[in-house]
Amino acid sequence: MIPYCTTRQAAGSIRKANARLPAFGIWLVTQTAYWQNADMKTIVLEEPGKLLLTETTPPTGVDTGEALVRVRNVGICGTDLHAYRGRQPFFEYPRILGHELGVEILEIGENAGGLSAGDLCSVEPYLNCGDCVACRAERPNCCSSLQVLGVHIDGGMREMISVPAAKLHRSRELSTDQLALVETLGIGSHAVERASLAPGESVLVTGCGPIGLSVIQFAQLAGARLSVIDLDPERLRFCRDHFNIENTIVQGENAPAELAEALKGELPTAVFDATGNAKSMMGSFQYASQGGRIIFVGIVMDDITFHDPDFHRMELTLLASRNSRPRDFRRIIDAMESSAIDTRPWITHRSNYDDFIASFERWVEPGSGVVKAVLDI
């Protein structure tokens, strides 16, 4: 079966951006619209450390099952920073980044979701085959041939992109910058579902960047009692201010003792690591209680080791969590619309197309204070 990722990638345009990029098949031109007359703004990560502002040819027309969308907002996250630094697993250059997308539909054919032109949507950027063991088990998030927009194939840092209509999740109330946050929130929603948290359960989240915050958000919705650990006191302050978390502990040698003291010796039964740091991930075993679960939300390009006698003695469960599922997108949009979650304080930094490269270079600096940065394109 041919994966969805054959979605046409504005083939000519990408070749113009960089001659090494492959072509992606042939376009079937169905109609001409005003936006097809002008080149579109595009941002390409040519190689580690080198972003390029360029213009590319817009997609033309839509095939059955697809939609042409105008990208309004793009969320920036750790994946983009890792790609920029050359530390993102499974990554090839050059690449148009952008997997956290708030979009407006320009053209769409008949579709099961009842979507039409003008609708504002979040894009589920996980293009799956629909046919493998994982897909058949309704786990498209870990499809054996998964391709993520902006990671494995070109993403949304451009004015327009074609996507499968089934990957669009509409909101009639949210703005596109809020819709651009849904993918990040999905990581936490799915990780919390993986852990099957019980109300009142004691939970630790290590790493309070956007992914950690999304875990915190859904762990709280599940009724868990939260403790958090991070290197950055500013991030811990954000957790106190916006999530009313009392146990905020600075990462370091004393962190295990401080956590044990704060919890009166009863360690958490679920430990989420959202750092993407091997040392932190290996250290997470010391924070779990007997019979506890450890959930690796962040990914690291390295081996992880642990002491098996302790793992067995404590009968721990180790879980990986990858991406999120379609129902997470629906659930998150509902929660945002009903104000069950408020992500407006998350967006601390913004940029437009012209300022993007300078802004991005500031954002990657330690101490930049970025919680979530959003590109208006």
Nearest-approach distance from CB 331 to Zn ion, in angstroms? 18
Q: Report the alpha-carbon distance of residue 181 to residue 289 in Å, rounded.
A: 33
Residue 314 and residue 129 in contact, taking contact as beta carbons nearer than 8 Å: no
Neighbours of 195 (CB within 10 A): 26
Q: Report the alpha-carbon distance of residue 209 to residue 227 in Å, rounded.
A: 15
Binding track over 26-65 against Zn ion, x by CB under 5 A: ----------------------------------------
Q: Is 375 in the site for Zn ion (CB under 5 A)?
A: no
Nearest-approach distance from CB 116 to Zn ion, in angstroms? 28
- Strand ranges in the chain using DSSP code E only, listed in sequence order: 40-47, 50-56, 66-76, 100-108, 120-123, 126-127, 147-148, 160-164, 168-171, 202-206, 225-230, 247-250, 270-273, 293-296, 317-320, 347-352, 372-376
Nearest-approach distance from CB 299 to Zn ion, in angstroms? 12
Cβ proximity to Zn ion, 132 vs 297, nearer residue: 132
Cβ proximity to Zn ion, 101 vs 294, nearer residue: 101
Cβ proximity to Zn ion, 135 vs 168, nearer residue: 135
Q: Scan residues 75-94 and list those touching Zn ion (CB under 5 A).
A: 77, 79
Q: Is 191 in the site for Zn ion (CB under 5 A)?
A: no
Q: Scan residues 102-131 and list those touching Zn ion (CB under 5 A).
A: 128-129
State the number of binding residues for Zn ion (CB under 5 A).
7
Residue type, 264: K
Locate 42 and state its tokens. Answer: 């595009």
Identified binder of Zn ion from the candidate list 143, 160, 197, 255, rule CB under 5 A: 143
Q: Is 132 in the site for Zn ion (CB under 5 A)?
A: yes
Closest CA to 234 of 327, 102, 366: 366
Nearest-approach distance from CB 363 to Zn ion, in angstroms? 13
Residue 83 and residue 95 in contact, taking contact as beta carbons nearer than 8 Å: yes
The b-or-e profile of 335-344 (16+ CB within 10 A means b, else e) is bbeeeebebe
Stretch of 142-150, 172-180, 275-283, 363-371 contacting Zn ion, by CB under 5 A: 142-150
Identified binder of Zn ion from the candidate list 71, 123, 127, 135, rule CB under 5 A: 135
Can you give the binding site for Zn ion, defined by CB under 5 A?
Answer: 77, 79, 128-129, 132, 135, 143
